[in-house]
Amino acid sequence: MLSNHFQNGIETAKLVWSRLPNADDGDADEVGVSKKIDGSSVESLDYEVVENHAYREEQAQRGKLHVGYYVVVKWFFALLIGIGTGLAAIFINISVENFAGWKYSLTFSIIQKSYIAGFVVYMLINLVLVYSSTYIITQFAPAAAGSGIPEIKGYLNGVDTHGILLFRTLIGKIFGSIGSVGGGLALGKEGPLVHIGACIASLLGQVTCGCAAGVAAAFRAPVGGVLFALEEVTSWWRSQLMWRVFFTSAIVAVVVRTAMGWCKSGKCGHFGSGGFIIWDVSGLESELFFSSHIIASVCAFLSFLTNDLFSGQEDYSFEELLPMAVIGVIGGLLGALFNQLTIYITYWRRNYLHKKGNRVKIIEVCLISLVTSIISFGLPLFRSCSPCPESDPDSGIECPRPPGTYGNYVNMNFNFSLRRVGELAGVKLCGFWTLRWLETTGDLGGQDDHELPMKGDKRTEAPKVTWGLGAKLEKVSTRNTRRLMLTGDQGGKRFIGNCLIKQGCHVFKWRIMRSLPRVCLFKLDKVVKIGILRGIAFYCGKDKEYNDLATIFFNTQDDAIRNLFSAKTIHEYSAQSLLTFLVMFYTLAVVTFGTAVPAGQFVPGIMIGSTYGRLVGMFVVSFYKKLNIEEGTYALLGAASFLGGSMRMTVSLCVIMVEITNNLTLLPLIMLVLLISKAVGDAFNEGLYEEQARLRGIPLLESRPKNEMRKMKAKEAFGNQKVVYFPRVVKVADVVSILKSNNHNGFPVIDSKSGETLVIGLMLRSHLLVLLQSKVDFQHSPLPSDSRGGSLPIRHNFSEFVKPASSKGLSIHDIHLGPDDLEMYIDLAPFVNRSPYIVPEDMSLTKVYNLFRQLGLRHIFVVPRASRVIGMITRKDLLIEDNEDPATVELQSTSV
């Protein structure tokens, strides 16, 4: 019986410890996960508030001001996290875009003379970037490898992975990502950005905010970020946290928007032409972005619920639902296969390849970089060029929005009203037009067909008015709520453009129209010159030709995705090219996953998904000839389905996809494919992050207990293990030997008074180490310090007991005590957590699990059935007047 052990005091305890595994063995077996676990690096986190004497004293001393101060500090930190993550994202994007832009323009200029020299330069630049990345990871910050999401997920589930949130990991992740993404590997920077956000946030004690900020920065999807944190990474969620996370994401959105606005006019080098994933943006002014975004979202949502729910369906017909469901199934299958293959490869790598040391890791990554360069440069050589899609002959633009172009420099004259352009085009203009300029470049992008005429207008009647790319937009002003005026610079010439807002919440100012269609018309005179080319003229003799495979292979990923999503014309890509890309890129993504570089799976997932989505789209086009089908839409659905099939997220992915494409009409379809792909994927294996967490030995507690637990009782969970505990006053030498003899982190403390034994609380190892190191609480007498009628001494601040967010902290082996110290005693009473969680021994394990998981606990005492009841608490006893101390709540969420 437990109480018997207590009575025997410390001598018994020593006997018990000798039966426990040796400290050096690690505790892999103890945590009951698997032998693969590196036990020394897996410890839980203490989220629970330690209600010890120091804490209670501090609480008693706190005034209202103190509480307010805590709240303000929390929000201020949330602000800093938003700014920090936003800036980190911008830095990474600017660097990647500049490296990539510089690499492509150099290669492009060299291949005009020699393909071989071009290839060598391209390959070497990639190699140097990738080498720098893997060097940083292997030599400086090993914890920065991979996406980091499984580890953060584990952290927020209560498992501390060594080094995951250190400052050096943050630095390694930032610079490592620049190298690996800039070096053209089949991986993305979005997962690492989540980790970067979490690292920044952990410096300020709010990891969840950082995760959301990372997603918000990576995709410019603030709401998606909040939902990602809620759905994917956190295990405990409170409404206060939701507000702060929401606030942080909003700050990120503003920071990113502002910085991009600043970069618009070419101040950031190549940056501005691609970068942040977003395939449809509006020209909102940055400072007004946030407030207007919220109103616009609400507005758009309402209109979506009312008219657009029905009118939006004009964009797809009932017959298309079947092929879309097929995309969902393919996504589920390919996603599950991706997870399975990465499990095998990661397992093999860890057990064979990576055991051979860092050099092998570096060689491996360099080889993969080499193969990636050869494939991305070499494969397009086998494709012949095709002529650019035809456009309005009047516009004079041969390639209005060809895949891969970076901008056609055109001479524009925008002084036309809607009616005037309609007259010129010889068509009666009505319905809706979408103004779509790529804000990153200041380019005026191509018209967005799938948001074109929605009411009263048949699509076939739409005039083919095209506007040029490459113009620097300088100012957008509004004459009234229905008319915009654009002014800007086009190759040294001024232009003015008129846009009419025709639909949506036009009672508001145009600024809130972010996701709503608006009208914008231009007339283009003639093409002056074709601008920077990416892929379009690659390997092609003439300007008017393009190589479809090169536009996706020999390109930055963001631009490749933009091309794959383009809905301008049909059949921009041949089935053969898409299939080649799919097979090669899928293989590269699987092989690259798990190497010693920071690597995210979002963008590779989108690339893979949009490729087979477009393939399905092509078949649908030839099958349903009469329907107005756009391959770009299928590409988008394909991307959603692959991510759903691999990562198994639904709500957050759905919102992220809507936010990055800015297209609410497709929402029901995205939901459909996500649900199907998740269901199909779940039939085979777990989500990518769960699988990877398990493989890395992170013992995640899932949200639901296992069925078998219903039949088990609490006492069956720990078997015959004897409890290791401390008496209230304990000799320093005993503390040291006890701590050395086991790896436990929590110990019951018992007080024996006049033959009666009382469990007075829980003592944490980390707190004992603080006491041993500081020595101030050592006493000569083996009697309790308050035994002569005095009160408990407080020589420590509560802050001394708060463990650093994620670190190994002190170890017993770091503490050196002299022989005199060892003969002293410590009274543990002031330092124990007096309110540990306690369950009766025959409570079902399901209940224990739920209690443990939902409260984020680390230790629970199991006790015999209680002998007495001294009261009963019901709901009514908890409905106390509003004198709750918010600081308590705040504190509990300190590191979450």
Query: Taking a C-beta distance cutoff of 8 angstroms, is the pair 715, 862 a contact?
Result: yes
Least Cβ distance, residue 38 to ligand ATP (angstroms): 13
The correct pick among 721, 752, 773, 797 for binding ligand ATP (CB under 6 A) is 721
Query: Taking a C-beta distance cutoff of 8 angstroms, is the pair 822, 732 a contact?
Result: yes
Closest CA to 431 of 517, 516, 307, 544: 517
Contacts of 764 (CB under 8 A, 6+ apart): 46, 50, 745, 746, 747, 833
How many angstroms separate the CA atoms of 717 and 845, rounded? 7
- For Mg ion, the closer CB: 29 or 841: 29
Q: Which span (51-59, 686-694, 718-726, 749-757) binds ligand ATP, by CB under 6 A?
A: 718-726
- For ligand ATP, the closer CB: 28 or 629: 28
How many angstroms separate the CA atoms of 719 and 705, rounded? 19
The 84-103 site mask, x for binding ligand ATP (CB under 6 A), equals --------------------
# residues near ligand ATP by CB under 6 A = 15
# residues near Mg ion by CB under 5 A = 2
Q: Does the footprint of ligand ATP cover residue 723 (CB under 6 A)?
A: yes
The correct pick among 249, 743, 833, 895 for binding ligand ATP (CB under 6 A) is 743
Q: Which span (49-57, 495-503, 716-724, 819-827) binds ligand ATP, by CB under 6 A?
A: 716-724
Q: What, of ligand ATP, Mg ion, none, does residue 273 touch, CB below 5 to 8 Å by kind?
A: none
How many angstroms separate the CA atoms of 131 and 141, rounded? 14
Q: What, of ligand ATP, Mg ion, none, does residue 134 touch, CB below 5 to 8 Å by kind?
A: none
Least Cβ distance, residue 39 to Mg ion (angstroms): 7
Least Cβ distance, residue 804 to Mg ion (angstroms): 17
Q: Does the footprint of ligand ATP cover residue 746 (CB under 6 A)?
A: yes
- For ligand ATP, the closer CB: 20 or 792: 20
Least Cβ distance, residue 405 to ligand ATP (angstroms): 55
Query: Taking a C-beta distance cutoff of 8 angstroms, is the pair 148, 164 a contact?
Result: yes
Least Cβ distance, residue 47 to ligand ATP (angstroms): 12
Least Cβ distance, residue 822 to ligand ATP (angstroms): 22
How many angstroms separate the CA atoms of 188 and 276, rounded? 11
The 235-274 site mask, x for binding ligand ATP (CB under 6 A), equals ----------------------------------------
Phi, psi angles (nearest 5°) of residue 626 = -75, -20
Using CB under 6 A as the binding rule, the residues of this chain from 27 to 66 that contact ligand ATP are 27, 30-31, 43-44
Instruction: List residues bridging with 494 in a β-sheet.
Output: 489
- For ligand ATP, the closer CB: 44 or 85: 44
Q: Does the footprint of ligand ATP cover residue 744 (CB under 6 A)?
A: yes
Q: Does the footprint of ligand ATP cover residue 751 (CB under 6 A)?
A: no
Closest CA to 634 of 646, 618, 649: 618
Contacts of 432 (CB under 8 A, 6+ apart): 451, 452, 453, 454, 455, 502, 503, 517, 518, 519
How many angstroms separate the CA atoms of 823 and 812, rounded? 17
In terms of DSSP bridges, do strands 838-840 and 861-863 run parallel, antiparallel, or are they unpaired? parallel
Q: What, of ligand ATP, Mg ion, none, does residue 360 touch, CB below 5 to 8 Å by kind?
A: none
Instruction: List residues bridging with 825 in a β-sheet.
Output: 731, 779
Question: How many angstroms separate the Cα of 789 from the Cα of each of 511, 527, 758, 793?
Answer: 71, 95, 20, 12
Least Cβ distance, residue 785 to ligand ATP (angstroms): 24
Using CB under 5 A as the binding rule, the residues of this chain from 22 to 41 that contact Mg ion are 27
Query: Taking a C-beta distance cutoff of 8 angstroms, is the pair 210, 629 a contact?
Result: no
The 41-80 site mask, x for binding Mg ion (CB under 5 A), equals --x-------------------------------------
Q: What, of ligand ATP, Mg ion, none, does residue 242 touch, CB below 5 to 8 Å by kind?
A: none
Least Cβ distance, residue 858 to ligand ATP (angstroms): 6
How many angstroms separate the CA atoms of 392 and 406, rounded? 19
Q: Which span (83-91, 123-131, 614-622, 744-752) binds ligand ATP, by CB under 6 A?
A: 744-752
Least Cβ distance, residue 31 to ligand ATP (angstroms): 6
3-state DSSP assignment of residue 437: strand
Q: Does the footprint of ligand ATP cover residue 747 (CB under 6 A)?
A: yes
Q: How many CB atoms lie within 10 A of CB 324?
A: 23
Q: Which span (146-154, 273-281, 282-290, 719-727) binds ligand ATP, by CB under 6 A?
A: 719-727
DSSP conformation letters of 411-428: EEE----HHHHHHHHTS-
Query: Taking a C-beta distance cutoff of 8 angstroms, is the pair 766, 745 a contact?
Result: yes
Least Cβ distance, residue 640 to ligand ATP (angstroms): 37
Query: Taking a C-beta distance cutoff of 8 angstroms, is the pair 229, 247 a contact?
Result: no
Q: Which span (250-258, 535-543, 661-669, 717-725) binds ligand ATP, by CB under 6 A?
A: 717-725
No. of H helices and E strands in the chain? 31, 20
How many angstroms separate the CA atoms of 276 and 93, rounded? 7
Q: Does the footprint of ligand ATP cover residue 858 (CB under 6 A)?
A: yes
Q: Which residues bind ligand ATP (CB under 6 A)?
A: 27, 30-31, 43-44, 718, 721, 723-724, 743-747, 858
Q: Give the interface with Mg ion as residue ranges (CB under 5 A).
A: 27, 43
